[in-house]
């Protein structure tokens, strides 16, 4: 009986911590950073890889209930990968710039007072610009395209006070996307072949170990509903 009462009181206290109200607004932004390096083992110095990336997300949220919200946002990200750094003739540099808009519907799950687990279902649409250089730029591929994607992710939201919240975005749990792009190849700055178009559909899961660099940390400001 005591155990039952204890479990019941924990459940009641957990779900009574909602600090948001229907009609509240949340203006937020987050920054994500990633970095990595790889060096081949053994005596060969050939394969050395370094990667880096940065992302920025800005969004506006409206709560349709205490624990459910709709969000419209803008995102931009830039990443690069350098391969074979110890062999200049074979070295490659790949970079990727992506930007666009997003819409998500999020449900909050209270964990303890002021701390929530959130599950956003998000739809993104945007543009991608990618380049790949080899041998110090003697050979280059340029691509630009349009992409749409949808996915389910997870995150944490901590309410610091009545106005400010701290957010942590975790890697996507499941996502699917479609990309269409046009590519051109150059040698010493001269176009070599006619442009060609490609279409690509992908499905991926983020349910695996991920580096801390894949996480995005941000802050949000609460605008209470007008009474």
Integer Cα distance of 174 and 172 in angstroms: 6
For 104, the 3-state DSSP assignment is: strand
| Sequential pLDDT tens for the chain (227 residues) | 433 333 333 333 333 444 788 999 999 998 888 777 777 655 455 566 788 888 898 999 999 999 999 999 999 999 988 877 677 666 788 899 999 999 999 999 999 888 999 999 999 999 999 988 886 667 888 899 999 999 998 889 999 988 899 988 876 788 899 999 998 888 877 777 777 888 989 888 765 444 444 567 889 999 988 76
DSSP 144-212: EEEEEEEEE--EEEEE-SSSEEEEEEPPPSEEEEEEEEEEEEEETTEE-S--EEEEEEEEEE--S---G
* pLDDT for position 47: 66
147 DSSP β-pair partners? 126, 179
Residue 225 and residue 175 in contact, taking contact as beta carbons nearer than 8 Å: no
For 40, the 3-state DSSP assignment is: coil
pTM of the model: 0.74
* pLDDT for position 188: 77
Domain parsing of the chain, residue ranges: 2-223
* CATH number belonging to domain 2-223: 2.40.160.20
């Amino acid at each position: 009986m005591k155990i039952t009462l204890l479990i019941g009181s924990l459940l009641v206290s957990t779900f009574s911590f909602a600090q948001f109200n229907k009609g509240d607004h949340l203006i937020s932004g987050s920054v994500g950073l990633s970095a990595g390096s790889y060096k081949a083992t053994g005596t060969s110095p050939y394969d050395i890889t370094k990667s880096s990336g940065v992302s920025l997300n800005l969004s506006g949220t409206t709560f349709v209930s205490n624990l459910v919200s709709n969000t419209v946002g803008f995102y931009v990200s830039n990443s690069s990968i350098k391969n074979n750094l110890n062999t200049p003739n074979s070295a490659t540099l790949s970079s990727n710039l992506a930007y666009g808009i997003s819409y998500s519907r999020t449900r909050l799950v209270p964990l303890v007072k002021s701390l929530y687990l959130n599950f956003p279902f998000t739809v993104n649409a945007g543009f991608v610009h990618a380049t790949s250089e080899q041998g110090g730029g003697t050979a280059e591929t340029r691509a630009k395209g349009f992409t749409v994607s949808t996915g389910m992710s997870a995150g944490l939201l901590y309410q610091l006070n009545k106005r400010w919240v701290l957010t942590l975005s975790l890697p996507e749990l499941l996502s699917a996307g479609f990309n269409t792009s046009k590519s051109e190849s150059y040698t010493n700055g001269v176009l070599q072949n006619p442009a060609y178009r490609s279409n690509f559909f992908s499905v991926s899961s983020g349910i695996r170990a991920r580096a801390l660099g894949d996480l995005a940390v941000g802050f949000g400001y609460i605008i209470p509903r007008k009474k």
